[in-house]
Structure 1
Amino acid sequence: MLCIEVLVEEPSAEAALKSLLPKLLGSRARHKIINFGSKSKLLKVLGQRLAAYAARINKGENLRIIVLVDRDQDDCQDLKNKLEVIAVQAGLTTKSNPDAQGQFMVVNRIVIEELESWFIGDIQALRRSFSSLPSISPTSSPFRNPDNGGSWEALHRFLKKHGIYKSSYPKIEAARKIASQMNINENRSPSFQCFKAGIEALLSQENENLN
């Protein structure tokens, strides 16, 4: 069975994906999440890590990789290009740079601007997670455009206004709590839908190879 390894930059992304990946993959693939502890650490070792994956794939292992990082203050296109170059230099094809048959081993995805954009994109998940929240208008800020930036601060301000996480915002706890309630088919965050589409592309490619 196909195994998808997802490389993430920090613990809250790992916490969220522990809930989200089973929903996204079902029984179609196995998965493993690898948390590097920081974006700088992930980017520093990514080339070496991907080269090791290339060696394993060349030996016949049915393995694909997703690299998931926050945009933060980076230019999105510059960051994506950097990830693509690292993968190609490691000897791996990507969804943006497939081989002649359209096959690829790596999907690079960027959260715009931070993981909390995905949570802002699912209003009902927030209300299921925090029963004290009132009805939320999708046209109100920050829900009108989930990927608009300043995600975790915007989410914390909203929750704090309603008596939740009054002092600090516990990113790992919140990620675990909210992600467990998310509906993968109704999220309004474009970067979440892009992440989902990348997974579906990997799975579709695997099905074609089996037929």
Structure 2
Amino acid sequence: MADHLEILVEEPSMEAFLRKLLPRMSPPQKTFEIHPFQGKSDLLTKLCDRLRGYKSWLPDNWRIVVLVDRDADDCAILKAELERICATSGLVSRTVARPTFMAWHVVNRIAIEELEAWYFGEWSSVCLAYPRMTPNIQNKAGFRNSDSVAGGTWEAFERVAKRAGYFPTGLAKIQAAREVGQVYDHDNSSSASFNAFRDALLTAWADGQ
């Protein structure tokens, strides 16, 4: 059972989103800290050394969550790279441990395609944050599957927001992350990648398996 999560994310907007979301999602007496990097390449370059550092002192009741955007990468290849880095560091990932029920230290998760896809996956929360947004966006062609919005999800979110009169000079990603994260309904998302991330956290907090 994990009492504390160390969450590594690739950029500040994901940190901003999670700092608003996780206090509403975490069980009582559970804690977390979020560590942003300067993009995916920065996180991947530094990840092995960071995990090796954790290995030297990580308490038994702590877990590490690594979260990166898929962007245009092949999801299976990216996940395999995260798993390889974890193994090289000497820590055990949840993927490796799960079949044998052994203890694990790290869970790797991928946001598909990026944070803004999670917004499309729970559009009622977006409309709560931004009431002028088109309420039925998930019924429109191209938006029904939030994890496969074509042409870049942050760009798509920016276009929809501008049409509603928000962010006229361009999407303020950190501001949007805070405002959506504050109201995001984590139990009602249709984004498979968000749900996989959420379930990994809840499982770690509940029983560590």
The TM-score with structure 1 as length reference comes to 0.91
Q: Does 2:50 correspond to 1:74?
A: no
Question: CA separation in 2, counterparts of 1:5 and 1:113?
Answer: 22
In the TM superposition, structure 1's runs of 4+ consecutive aligned residues that sit over 3 Å from their partners are 99-102
Which blocks of at least 5 consecutive residues in structure 2 are unaligned?
A: none
The answer to which of 143-152 and 175-184 deviates more is 143-152
Aligned to 1:204: 206
Gapped regions of structure 1 (runs ≥ 5) = none
How many pairs does the alignment contain? 205
Structure 1 position 117 matched with structure 2 position 117: yes
Corresponding position of 2:131: 131
SS of the residue 2:5 aligns to:
strand
SS at match of 2:96: coil
Per-residue deviation, 1:167: 2.4
Local SS of the residue matching 1:192: helix
Pick one of 161, 164, 167 that aligns with 2:163.
161
Q: Normalising to structure 2: TM-score of the pair? A: 0.92
Q: Percent identity?
A: 36
Deviation at 1:137, TM superposition (A): 4.6
CA distance in 2, matches of 1:129, 1:96: 36
Alignment match of 1:190 (pick from 178, 184, 192): 192
Instruction: Give me the whole-angstrom Cα distance separating, in 2, the residues matched to 1:36 and 1:74.
Output: 18
Once the two structures are superposed, the pairs formed by residues 27-66 of structure 1 within 5 Å of their partners are 27-57=28-58, 60-66=59-65
Question: 1 CA distance for matches of 2:64 and 2:32?
Answer: 10
- Partner Cα separation in structure 2 for residue 177 and residue 62 of structure 1: 31
Q: Which moved more, 1:24-33 or 1:177-186?
A: 24-33
Corresponding residue to 2:176 among 171, 174, 177: 174
Specify which structure has the bigger relative contact order, considering alpha-carbon pairs within 8 angstroms and separated by 6 or more residues. Answer: 2
- CA RMSD after TM alignment: 1.7
Q: d(CA) in 2 for partners of 1:52 and 1:137? A: 44
The 8 Å contact of residues 142 and 154 in structure 1, kept in 2 or not, is answered as no
Counterpart in the other structure of 1:5: 6
- TM superposition shift of 1:138: 2.6
* 1:170–1:137 CA distance, 2 compared to 1 (3 A): closer
The amino acid that maps onto 1:175 is: A
